[in-house]
Structure formats: C-alpha cells, structure tokens
C-alpha cells in the first residue's frame, strides 16, 4: 500500500505515529511517498482552513480528541501552516533513499505536534536528523539539490495524476483513501486484495 504523506498536513500526524504498527498488524507492506500537498491543493482551489476560523478551531479539537483515542501525545494548536513545507518533504525524500526517512518523518512530526517546533525549519530540522545520528548539514544540503527539488515535483505530479488531492492518502491499485480516518478502511481493502 502506498502511503502518500506530505509533511505540512495536520491530520497526518495521527497517521505517521501509528501507521507502521497498524500495517504490521494487518500484514500489509507499506511504501512511504512524500509529496507536496500544498501545490496540489492550490492548483485545485482546495483550501480547507485559510480564512475559515470555525473549521480550523474544530480541526484542532478533533485532532486532540482523536489523539486521545489513539493514546498519542499532542499539543494544539500546532504552528500552521508550515513556511518550509517543500524542504521538510525534500529531506524526507533524501532520508527514504538513505534508510532513515520514516524515522525522520516521525521525529519531525513529534517535534512539531508535541514540542511546537514547525517542521522544515530550525531547530526542528537539525534536531530531528541529529537524533537519528544523521549528518544534518549534509542531509539538508542534499535536500536543497536540484535533483531532490525535481524529485519532489515529480512525485507530486504522480500523486496528482493518480487522484491524490490530500494527505494522508492510501493508495491500493486504483483505489484512493484519503484521511487518517480512512486508514483502517484502506488496510482492510489492501488485505482483502492481497
């Protein structure tokens, strides 16, 4: 099952913190696929929270309750939106290539949603990498390379082409499931199909 994840999405925190265990329990193999959800949402005129204070306030309370249900720590509202969403995801692409991508995404989300440090920016970025024993300056330099910038754009185009319009999304063949609250449905679908 492809897990399309864009660091920058709020609800994806809930997914990042539990999807590995949930997929293991369901016996479903996962592939993490970072992309730039903001580019897709802007291009599709899909702006869920900006200038929508009532819906935004609801989102924080809903996330808080869902975190409670899942036994996850959370401090809301977290800083939002992220200024450096592309960089946060470019680092993730470097990490997935080098084997520390999943741990980085998890670390950076924890610092964002528990400690209140925006992902993609300092001190979150270097601290998340250092905690994994990764050379932070080297990883960040690689993330800024044209190659990785282009890779994020290419991955985002693939996401858009297959109908992904939000994060988190779970894709099994032609089926797209969107939202942390569809994780269980998606795993069940993947399991049935396997």
Distances (CA, A) of 111 to 78, 117, 125, 179: 10, 6, 9, 21
Q: What is the 3-state secondary structure (H, E, C) of 15-64?
A: HHCCHHHHHHHHCCCCEEEECCHHHHHHHCCCCCCCCCHHHHHHHHHHHH
CB of 18 to a copy of itself, least distance (A): 16
Residues 67-86 that bind a copy of itself (CB under 8 A): 69
Please name the residues in contact with 93: beta carbons below 8 A apart, sequence gap of 6 or more: 34, 101, 143, 148, 151, 152, 155
Distances (CA, A) of 101 to 5, 67, 71, 106, 192: 12, 23, 24, 9, 28
Q: Cβ closer to a copy of itself: 21 or 45?
A: 45
CB of 86 to a copy of itself, least distance (A): 21
User: What mask, x for binding a copy of itself by CB under 8 A, covers residues 37 to 66?
Assistant: -------xxx----xx-xx-xx--xx--xx
Q: Cβ closer to a copy of itself: 62 or 103?
A: 62
Per DSSP (E only), the strands in 74-194 are 169-172, 175-178
CB of 185 to a copy of itself, least distance (A): 7
CB of 150 to a copy of itself, least distance (A): 24
The answer to whether the beta carbons of residues 139 and 101 sit under 8 Å apart is no
Q: Cβ closer to a copy of itself: 18 or 144?
A: 18
User: What mask, x for binding a copy of itself by CB under 8 A, covers residues 105 to 124?
Assistant: --------------------
Q: Cβ closer to a copy of itself: 55 or 97?
A: 55
Residues 128-187 that bind a copy of itself (CB under 8 A): 163, 165-166, 175-179, 181-182, 185
Q: Cβ closer to a copy of itself: 84 or 178?
A: 178
Q: Which positions lie near a copy of itself, rule CB under 8 A?
A: 44-46, 51-52, 54-55, 57-58, 61-62, 65-66, 69, 163, 165-166, 175-179, 181-182, 185, 189
């Amino acid at each position: 099952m492809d897990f399309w994840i864009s660091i920058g999405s709020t609800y994806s925190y809930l997914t990042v913190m539990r999807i590995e265990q949930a997929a293991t329990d369901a016996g479903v193999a996962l592939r993490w696929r970072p992309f730039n959800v903001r580019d897709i949402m802007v291009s599709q005129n899909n702006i869920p929270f900006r200038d929508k204070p009532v819906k935004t306030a609801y989102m924080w309370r809903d996330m808080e309750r869902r975190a409670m249900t899942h036994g996850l720590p959370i401090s809301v509202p977290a800083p939002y939106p992220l200024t450096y969403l592309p960089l946060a995801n470019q680092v993730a692409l470097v990490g997935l290539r080098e084997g520390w991508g999943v741990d980085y995404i998890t670390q950076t989300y924890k610092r964002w949603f528990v400690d209140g440090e925006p992902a993609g920016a300092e001190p979150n970025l270097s601290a998340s990498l250092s905690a994994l024993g990764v050379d932070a300056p080297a990883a960040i330099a690689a993330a800024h390379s044209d190659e990785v910038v282009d890779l994020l754009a290419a991955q985002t185009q693939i996401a858009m082409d297959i109908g992904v319009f939000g994060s988190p999304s779970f894709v099994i063949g032609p089926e797209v499931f969107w939202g942390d609250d569809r994780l269980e449905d998606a795993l069940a679908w993947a399991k049935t199909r396997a």
